[in-house]
Amino acid sequence: DNLQGNFVPGPPLWGLVNAAWSLCAVGKRQSPVDVEL
């Protein structure tokens, strides 16, 4: 995965990459994907 040319680790570390994804760093069921229903 890449974000602006920088390495982005897998989902367990996404919460450390972007403050908006902080819930990804805790719990087991959060997802950074916005799914429209």
> Tell me: the pLDDT tens digits for 1-37?
445 566 666 777 778 888 887 877 777 665 567 767 7
pLDDT of residue 30: 56
Length of the chain equals 37
pLDDT of residue 32: 62
pLDDT of residue 12: 72
Distance CA 26, CA 2 (A): 22
What does the domain layout of the chain look like in residue ranges?
1-26
pLDDT of residue 1: 46
pLDDT of residue 24: 73
Distance CA 28, CA 18 (A): 18
